[in-house]
Structure 1
Amino acid sequence: MRILHTSDWHLGRQFHGVSLDEDHDAVLAQVEVAIADHGPDVLIIAGDIFDRATPPQTALRRFNDFVRRVGAGGQTAIVLIAGNHDSAAQVGMMGVLADADRSLVRGPLDAEERPLILSDEHGPVAISALPFSFEFAARACYGKEDICCPADVLREQVASARRHLPDGARWIVVAHAFVEGASTSDGERPLTRAVGGIETVPSSVFDGAHYVALGHLHRPQAAGADHIRYAGSPLAFGFDEEGHRKSMTLVDLAADGSVTTTDIAFEPLRRIRTLRGRLAELLAAPEASDDLISVVLTDETPQIDPMKRIRRLYPNAVQLAYERNGVPGEERLREGRAALERPQEVIADFVNFARGRKIDEGERALVEARLGDLIVVEDDT
């Protein structure tokens, strides 16, 4: 059986305020070409179809048109799950009118994770699609109050999926998770709302699966074993991904359950690039470019209206920093995002600054408890 594994499309996303609609059109067209050229039995989209829970209508229309075109071919089944950026309810509604024999669409959690069963000349293949869920929703679904991290959520999902596997079937699992040992990028949102919580999942959670199609991390890579893989995102979403080769993964599943994987490279409409040099040197470039540009000026003195002048050649220059300032703007932005993901440390630093001494263990425990209460209230609303 042949599988085309993709993930993390993030339809509707912008890059520093620049629309990526045309870039997404280009990569979706390449997915369709790959389907036509390689004839996969199933297309897997492993979460983060959209960039946010309320995507713009253009993103919804783009996805619906894509699914309609792929479905019209009649040869390729579709399996997709909600990721942490998606609205589980919205993704779940997409499956209401789908052909249950040729598609599996999973949004909200289900205590009974039934697979899509496909067959080839070697027998049945069961595909279990496990949508992303925060711990609080999983507790309600499975009736277990001791679910406290993403690994606990996935253990329950995998255990449920195992109960519905046909005897002798080869098994494919689709999940949206951060598996231990994998490499991250800046654009990935944390998968747990628990303060100080552990968001990684051991690869052993997937024991017994012949192939695990993962989403969430934006770099194509194996995680823990060769058959546990991230396809990665089709586009770069931050300058830390400059130079990364984006791809989708073609998987051939043999009769004995072994897999052979081939990366099919995406060709982006625009590249992510950093230009470094003196302003005069950059303005002397031989030709303009529509690439998405970060500019680092090496001039020792501030220049007059540098961004306006640079955008005459590079209309999609979105970021500018001076090398002499030490920390470029993107690194400062990353530091700010990291601080927001550690609110207890931000509070501790503020208290230390305001009163001249560090908080003690009792005060730290009080902060942790109050932040935990806020997370529960947010989840309930």
Structure 2
Amino acid sequence: MRILHTADLHLGRQFNGIPLDSDHAAILDQIVSAITSRDVDVLVIAGDIFDRAAPPTSAVRQFNGFLARVASETDAAVVMIAGNHDSGDRIASMAIMTDTRRALIRGAISADEKPLVLTDAHGPVAFTGLPFAYEYAARECFSDEALHTPEDVLAAQVACGRRNIPDGTRWVVVSHAFVAGASSSESERPLTRVGGIETVSSAVFEGAHYVALGHLHRPQSVGAPHIRYSGSPLAFGFDESDCQKSMSLVEIDAVGQTTIESIPFTPIRHVRVLKGRHAELLLADRSDDFIKAVLTDDAPVIDGMKRIRDVFPNACELIYERDEQAPEVKSLTGRALAVANPVEVIGDFVEHVRDEGFSEKELEVVASALGRLRETEDVK
């Protein structure tokens, strides 16, 4: 059986205030093409389908159109779960009136996770979808006040899913978590509300023949080759500029052994860090890529960013190499502290206050205001 493992689409996201609608459209096209050209049996989307709980209408329409294409242009089944950026209820609503023989869509945590069972030439393969849930929701779901960490929650979910897997069935688990030992990126939102240990042990997935993970944005296996992150299809920060984004084509044989092939994504705009003297960078070919310029000039350059944007209209950052030599600061958890995205910080506050995220119009106003602030700082 062939599985195309993807995750962390983050539809509706912006890169430093710049919309990514066209970038996401190209990525979704490439996923559909991979399904058809590689004879994929199952498409897996391991959470963070949208960038926030209340995504813009354009993102919802984009994803609905994508699912319609998968349903009409391919024979692939779909398994997808909600991630920590998603609204579980929104994702769950997509399961209403779907063909349950061809789709498993899990938005809200459940104490009775039933799998989607598909059959190939070697017999049944069971897919269990474990949507992301915070501890308070898990305590209510499982009636267990002893669930205090993400690992406690995931262990309870896996145990519930395992009970519904017939003996001798090959088993695929889809989850959204931070598995200990994996490499993170700056653009990922922590999975704990107030501090705490957010990582989980790969041992909680014991018995699964393949674990399709979401949350971390770099493609990687962790703990064992069959426990894998596909990574996000787009880079969402300059720390990912060196990362080749890909989807994972997984083939499971008769006894549950897996072979994994990475299929690279081709973005329409790359994320690049350019280093050199200001005058040298101005000689480069014009590009719409997202650029972080690291200047090696000894003296400050007048109107540095404005002139860089004549060549790179989507330049987002300009710093001097001498300012990057600050000593490294390590977090107590061993994970690099991420620089908060201002839009996310404001959005989280709004959602906390009124139990509802930004509307599309409100997002435009906030993004516009932040853009004007950034331009003011560039002028200074």
Report the CA distance between 1:335 and its aligned residue. Answer: 5.8
> Do the aligned partners of 2:35 and 2:74 also contact (CA within 8 Å) in 1?
no
C-alpha distance in structure 2 between counterparts of 1:162 and 1:325, whole Å = 52
C-alpha distance in structure 2 between counterparts of 1:326 and 1:231, whole Å = 31
Amino acid at match of 2:322: R
Amino acid at match of 2:203: S
Aligned to 1:231: 230
C-alpha distance in structure 2 between counterparts of 1:302 and 1:271, whole Å = 27
Aligned to 2:181: 181
C-alpha distance in structure 1 between counterparts of 2:155 and 2:230, whole Å = 22
> Do the aligned partners of 1:81 and 1:130 also contact (CA within 8 Å) in 2?
yes
Report the CA distance between 1:327 and its aligned residue. Answer: 5.4
> Do the aligned partners of 1:136 and 1:379 also contact (CA within 8 Å) in 2?
no
User: What does 1:186-265 correspond to in 2, within 5 Å?
Assistant: 186-195=186-195, 197-265=196-264
Aligned to 2:35: 35
For residues 270-305 of structure 1, the C-alpha deviation after alignment (integer angstroms, 9 at most, x for no partner) is 1111122222222222x2111100011222222221
Give the ranges of 4+ consecutive aligned residues of structure 1 lying more than 4 Å apart after TM superposition.
Answer: 378-381
Report the CA distance between 1:73 and its aligned residue. Answer: 3.0
Secondary structure, counterpart of 1:189 in structure 2: coil
User: What does 1:1-381 correspond to in 2, within 5 Å?
Assistant: 1-73=1-73, 75-195=75-195, 197-285=196-284, 287-326=285-324, 337=339
Q: Using a 3 Å threshold, how does the CA distance of structure 1 residues 264 and 326 change in structure 2: closer, same or farther?
A: closer
Aligned to 1:351: none
> Do the aligned partners of 2:3 and 2:249 also contact (CA within 8 Å) in 1?
yes
Q: Using a 3 Å threshold, how does the CA distance of structure 1 residues 245 and 318 change in structure 2: closer, same or farther?
A: same
Aligned residues: 338
> Do the aligned partners of 2:127 and 2:172 also contact (CA within 8 Å) in 1?
yes
CA-based RMSD of the aligned residues comes to 2.0
C-alpha distance in structure 1 between counterparts of 2:104 and 2:139, whole Å = 24
Q: Using a 3 Å threshold, how does the CA distance of structure 1 residues 35 and 326 change in structure 2: closer, same or farther?
A: closer
Q: Using a 3 Å threshold, how does the CA distance of structure 1 residues 207 and 293 change in structure 2: closer, same or farther?
A: same
Report the CA distance between 1:266 and its aligned residue. Answer: 0.6
TM-score (norm 1): 0.85
Report the CA distance between 1:194 and its aligned residue. Answer: 3.8
Amino acid at match of 1:316: N
> Do the aligned partners of 1:185 and 1:217 also contact (CA within 8 Å) in 2?
yes
Structure 2 unaligned runs (5+)?
330-335, 343-351, 356-380
Amino acid at match of 1:157: Q
C-alpha distance in structure 2 between counterparts of 1:169 and 1:300, whole Å = 64
C-alpha distance in structure 2 between counterparts of 1:187 and 1:248, whole Å = 19
C-alpha distance in structure 1 between counterparts of 2:274 and 2:101, whole Å = 51
Report the CA distance between 1:74 and its aligned residue. Answer: 5.0
Amino acid at match of 1:85: H
C-alpha distance in structure 2 between counterparts of 1:326 and 1:32, whole Å = 41
For residues 15-43 of structure 1, the C-alpha deviation after alignment (integer angstroms, 9 at most, x for no partner) is 11111111111111110110110111110
Secondary structure, counterpart of 2:72 in structure 1: helix
C-alpha distance in structure 2 between counterparts of 1:18 and 1:172, whole Å = 37
> Do the aligned partners of 2:187 and 2:338 also contact (CA within 8 Å) in 1?
no
Amino acid at match of 2:85: H
Secondary structure, counterpart of 1:156 in structure 2: helix
Amino acid at match of 2:186: D
For residues 331-353 of structure 1, the C-alpha deviation after alignment (integer angstroms, 9 at most, x for no partner) is 9xx86738x9xxxxxxxxxxxxx
Amino acid at match of 2:253: A
> Do the aligned partners of 2:186 and 2:337 also contact (CA within 8 Å) in 1?
no
Q: Give the greater-gyration-radius structure (CA).
A: 1
> Do the aligned partners of 1:79 and 1:103 also contact (CA within 8 Å) in 2?
yes
For residues 78-129 of structure 1, the C-alpha deviation after alignment (integer angstroms, 9 at most, x for no partner) is 0000000111110010111211110000001111100001011111111000
* Bigger mean CA deviation after superposition, 207-216 or 270-279: 270-279
Secondary structure, counterpart of 1:237 in structure 2: coil
Amino acid at match of 1:211: Y
Q: Using a 3 Å threshold, how does the CA distance of structure 1 residues 262 and 336 change in structure 2: closer, same or farther?
A: closer
Report the CA distance between 1:50 and its aligned residue. Answer: 0.7
Amino acid at match of 1:18: I
